[in-house]
A and B are shown apart, each in its own frame.
Chain A
Amino acid sequence: MIFAIVRTALTALRRDRGALALSFILPIAFFTIFAVIFGGRRDTTPRISVIVVDEDHSRASQQLVKGLSDESLSVKTRPAPKRGVAQPEYTAATAEAAVKAGDAPVAVIIPQGFGEHPIAFGGGQRSTIQLLKDRSDMVAPQMIIGLLQKVAMTAMPEAMAAQGTQYMDQYAGGLTPEQRKRIEGSLEELRKQQSSGNDRAETRRSSETGMPVAIAARDVVGENKNNPMVSFYAAAIGVMFLLFTASGASGSLLDEAESGTLDRVLSSRVTMGTLLAGKLCYCCLLAFSQLVLMFVWAWLVFKLDFIPHLAGFAVMGLSTAFAVAAFGMLLASMCRTRGQLGPLSTLVILIMSSVGGSMFPRFLMPEAMQKAGLLTINAWAIDGFTKVFWRDEPISHLWQQVLVLLLIGIALFAIARRLARRWEYS
């Protein structure tokens, strides 16, 4: 008896492609995505971008920059070439602008005079490195601060030795002229060795205690924000549910096809093109309303700066709603029944949302995954909303996101229109 029940259920499952996909494909797809992001292969581990501005150009500052470059960081001292023309090195101002624009989460400014007092222990005189950071990235700045300390200890041995000698001279009763002469000789030798590159293994093994470099960190993005991640998640979660809403709403097309209502509508003056356009407008309106609700809620409950960003929100909201609505129309036109639409939309939307940054920020993902995310509506929408709400960028800076979302929407709708021809006549 139990065997018969099991066999019946298995037979039904075998013939339900949607249930099969949800049962076996979705978990494997999700596992793969998460494994690549968090556990993944070492060669795809993200390299944190950091902008370094050397205002000092001293030996110590150059050693520091070189030390940072030797770490697993992507150190940028100048912007990428534009149309093959090399760009000038970053200044403190352009570096700050670049962090604000999201080109890198952190900028390190090595001030003029750094070489004179690069390090100090116990609060002695030293130059302070400026660290400009994007508050939305809670990982990169902490990592850079730690690496700066490490590099100071390992990449500037003569500075360390000179500082140690100075402390000894100051607190151990003074050095005799002979001692001072010998120490100076040793420091000179150390400088020569480091110049010839023979010292690296040795210096890397030196002790890493203390905090020799003074760092002043400052938020240049999100410094006035009440809650750093609210705007991100309002967009990220909002877009994911928009996709679900749009696919559900466009599923009314399948309901109408199944009930015969679609036939009746198409026998009137309404053409398939008009009908799809009407459905698209409806899904668009629904999606935009949902976004409005989401952001108003974030404004009322989580103090999101909604009102000052209304124009940017409207531009991004309408672009996103259009792309999402077209996506829903495509899914509906691909399916034969509502029963097919449910599992297919769940599968596609969850994968898009995980890769596109709706579940966790894309900057935490490996580079390859970040690039893959650009194939999703989620990524472009979230990037746009982040520009509006986090980086306070003007509307004109949204052109790339808006253009991509509009093109995605147009392309998906065109495919949906083509697929919908099967409903037009038989």
Chain B
Amino acid sequence: MTSAPVVTAPGSLLPLRIEALVKRFGELIAVNGVTLELNSGECLGLLGPNGAGKSTLIRSIVGRVIPDTGKVLVFGAAADSANARAALGWVPQDLALYPRLTCRENLEAFGQYHGLQRAELKTAVAWCLEWAGLADRAKDTVASFSGGMKRRLNMAAGLIHHPKVILMDEPTVGVDPQSRNRIFEMIEKLREQGISMIYTTHYMEEAERLCDRIAIIDHGRVIALGTKDELVHNAFASRSEVIARFGNSGERVVAWVKQRGGAFDDGTARFTIEHVTEIAALLEAAAAAGHELVDVSLRKPNLESVFLHWTGRELRD
């Protein structure tokens, strides 16, 4: 299989640099002063709930949204420049395909839109079909594809022109677990080749598995940025989480949880502890206060915990 070209930043220019980007839609501030950098060969995750501003940020990068202030530079070029367009590969959240065209015809069309011709186009189509595992369905119309196959083709269409920077906007939305794993494998192949990538998702597991660094986004702002370990450490240091469910969730329980420094949400209390031995004290205190505990577990904090820590809300709210 021909591999996608491995790209390095020319000179000292970063593949992508976002500076103080702001985008408003009327009263709504969709992106609120975001500053980010994507290093060469890095996969940067944008993790946040629906409506956090991830897609608007991606659309600003790809030149489909004009920011109110701030700028986006792709290898030093403005986002809406021809050079930036050629360097960027966008996999939109929507299935942006021609349903009545075959798999191959779709790839050929998007390749031609990016200026590919003849042998170059043929090679690129062959690589995309192989990469997406759709070579045997090349002659089938997209309308006949399963959801997972459409997703894979949607990704392939974004890579048809061998972009230097890839923007994946929730590529696994609405697919079954098996198809999701297939998509992960495709992305990991790209990562092995050192492609620079931004990957948006609201699935913590995807960000943990695929991304070198993660920017947690909420209400259009980057509220935390770093590797997974850095994010957890910054929020929790060396503390662990105790998750407790009570037999009742009345006001007395909520007040007691807050008094003990915990958080109560959706019938579940969360506490952080430095040492495992602190669990025993917590259980005794609950019993003394007359609260019935039905389930208690100890876990290391994850990205979900980090998000909850900084926003007070669940990631999937």
Contacts and interface: CB of A to CB of B under 8 A. Distances in A.
B64 to A, nearest CB: 5
B64 A260 contact: no
A426 B96 contact: no
A270 B113 CA distance: 6
Given A259-B94, A268-B161, 18 more contacts: A259-B96, A259-B99, A260-B93, A260-B94, A260-B96, A261-B98, A263-B59, A263-B96, A264-B92, A264-B96, A264-B157, A265-B110, A267-B64, A267-B85, A267-B90, A268-B110, A425-B65, A426-B66
Interface string A262-301: 0111111110000000000000000000000000000000
B94 to A, nearest CB: 3
B88 A267 contact: yes
A426 B64 contact: yes
B61 to A, nearest CB: 10
Of the four ranges (under 10, 10 to 19, 20 to 34, 35 or more), the interface on chain A belongs to 10 to 19
B92 A268 contact: no
Interface of B: 25, 59, 62-66, 82, 85-86, 88, 90, 92-99, 110, 113-115, 157-158, 161
Contacts of B85: 267-269
Given A259-B94, A269-B82, A269-B115, A264 B65 contact: no
Contacts of B64: 263, 266-267, 425-426
Contacts, number: 55
B128 to A, nearest CB: 14
B95 A259 contact: yes
Given A260-B92, A260-B95, A260-B96, A267 B65 contact: no
Contacts of A270: 113
A270 B86 CA distance: 11
Contacts of B65: 425-426
Contacts of A260: 92-96
Contacts of A426: 25, 59, 64-66
Interface string A242-272: 0000000000000000011101111111100
A269 B115 CA distance: 7
Contacts of A269: 82, 85-86, 113-115
A261 B66 contact: no
Contacts of A268: 85, 110, 113-114, 161
Given A259-B96, A261-B96, A267 B66 contact: no
A269 B59 CA distance: 16
Question: A266, A267, A269: which has the most chain B beta carbons within 10 Å?
Answer: A267
A264 B96 CA distance: 7
Nearest to A262: B96
Given A267-B85, A269-B113, A425 B66 contact: yes
A259 B161 CA distance: 21
A134 B95 CA distance: 59
Given A259-B96, A260-B96, A261-B97, A267 B63 contact: yes
B99 to A, nearest CB: 8
Nearest to B94: A260
A348 B161 CA distance: 42
